[in-house]
Amino acid sequence: MRVLVLEDETKVGCFIKRALEEESYAVDLCEDGAKGLEMALATNYDLLVVDVMLPGMSGLDVLKNLRRERIQTPVLILSAQSQIDQRVKGLDAGADDYLTKPFAIDELLARVRALLRRGATESPGVLQVDDLMFNPATREVTRGGQRIDLTLKEYALLEYLMRHTGRVLTRPMISEHVWNQDFDTFTNVIDVYVNYLRNKIDRGRTKKLIHTIRGSGYMLKAD
């Protein structure tokens, strides 16, 4: 899941990025509103976390511009203003949720999870493909009741695959949603990580869940 954080207070931006990364999200950070809007228009993010007071362009204007361009990426507004009219203004501008500073990291992460869930066509809290279970809240992955331990990147990759089961996911799509802007496109990192996942999920089992679609990418499905 790829997230764009627009926050001009460097320290705040940094700890949000770090908290999200520890949850295996791919995070880009931007301190300027206008630049952030460009990034949001250019890349297909899964979620935007936007501060209201930004240099260049206010967070609300970024949001309005996005919605005018018919980009329906879920947006979580961050603001130091807790007054109701401010929240209303934010939500009316097209935000999906509103969080007042200062906030607890747990709440931020829970709201991010909720927004991502909503984005993926009303999927339930726990994702399941065949006997593979994936719980984003507890970060627990099991297959046939057996616990599988994953690294952050493997987890992120599996989450993306699980949220798009039965669909062909190309390498550019995977890199866009699982890695951040520092990702170097000309490596075979994706294939390497898919192999890691295969080893942990499909190895030694008769039913394989991760399929290679030759010439285009990968697909996760039950049969």
Partner 1 sequence: MPLRVRLTFWYGTVLALVLIVFSMVLYAITARNLRDTVDESLEDTATTAVRLLETNGFLPLIDEEILLSQFPELTRIDKFFQIFSPSGTITIRSPNIKQHKVPLSRTALDAAFAGQSIYESAQYPKEPPLRLISMPIMYRDNLLYIVQVGTSMESVGETLHRFLVLVLVAIPIALTVSLAGGWFLAGRALRPVDRITLAAQRIAAGDLSQRLSMPGAYDEIGRLAATFNNMIGRLDASFRQIRQFTSDASHELRTPLTVMKGETDLVLRKSRPLEDYKAVLESNLEEIDRMTRIVDELLFLSRADMGEVKVESMPVVLQSLVEDVHRQAKLLGQERNVEVVLGTITPVIVQGDDLRLRELLLNLVENAMKYSNPGGKVEISLLRDGQEARLSITDHGIGIAAADHKKIFQRFFRTDVARAHTKKGTGLGLAICAWIADLHKGRVEVKSDLGQGSTFTVVLPLVTLPA
Stretch that binds partner 1, among 9-17, 123-131, 157-165, 173-181 (CB under 8 A): 9-17
Which residue in 84, 104, 203, 204 binds partner 1 (CB under 8 A)? Answer: 104
Please give the biggest Cα pair distance in the chain. Answer: 57
* Cβ neighbours of 84 (radius 10 Å): 8
Take residue 129 and report the two structure tokens written for it.
């493909």
Strand, helix or coil at 210? strand
- CA atoms within 13 Å, Cβ hemisphere of 164: 19
* Ramachandran class of 131: left when φ > 0, alpha when ψ lies in -120 to 50, beta otherwise: alpha
Q: Pick between residue 18 and residue 207 the one whose CB is nearest to partner 1.
A: 18
Contact call for residue 184 and partner 1 (CB under 8 A): no
Long-range contacts of 196-200 (CB under 8 A, 24+ apart): 196/151, 196/154, 197/150, 197/154, 197/157, 197/158, 197/161, 200/148, 200/149, 200/150, 200/154
Contact call for residue 3 and partner 1 (CB under 8 A): no
Which residue in 35, 43, 56, 170 binds partner 1 (CB under 8 A)? Answer: 56
CB of 98 to partner 1, least distance (A): 15
Strand, helix or coil at 99? strand
Stretch that binds partner 1, among 8-16, 42-50, 144-152, 176-184 (CB under 8 A): 8-16
Q: Pick between residue 39 and residue 105 the one whose CB is nearest to partner 1.
A: 105
Stretch that binds partner 1, among 2-10, 142-150, 187-195, 205-213 (CB under 8 A): 2-10
Which residue in 35, 39, 43, 53 binds partner 1 (CB under 8 A)? Answer: 53
Say which DSSP state 52 is in: S
CB of 38 to partner 1, least distance (A): 17
Contact call for residue 118 and partner 1 (CB under 8 A): no
Residue linked to tokens 């995070």: 27
Contact call for residue 21 and partner 1 (CB under 8 A): no
Q: Pick between residue 32 and residue 202 the one whose CB is nearest to partner 1.
A: 32
Angle between helices 189-201 and 152-163 (to 10 degrees): 80
Q: Pick between residue 15 and residue 135 the one whose CB is nearest to partner 1.
A: 15
Q: Which residues lie near partner 1 (CB under 8 A)?
A: 8-12, 15-16, 18-19, 22, 31-32, 53, 55-56, 80-81, 83, 101-106
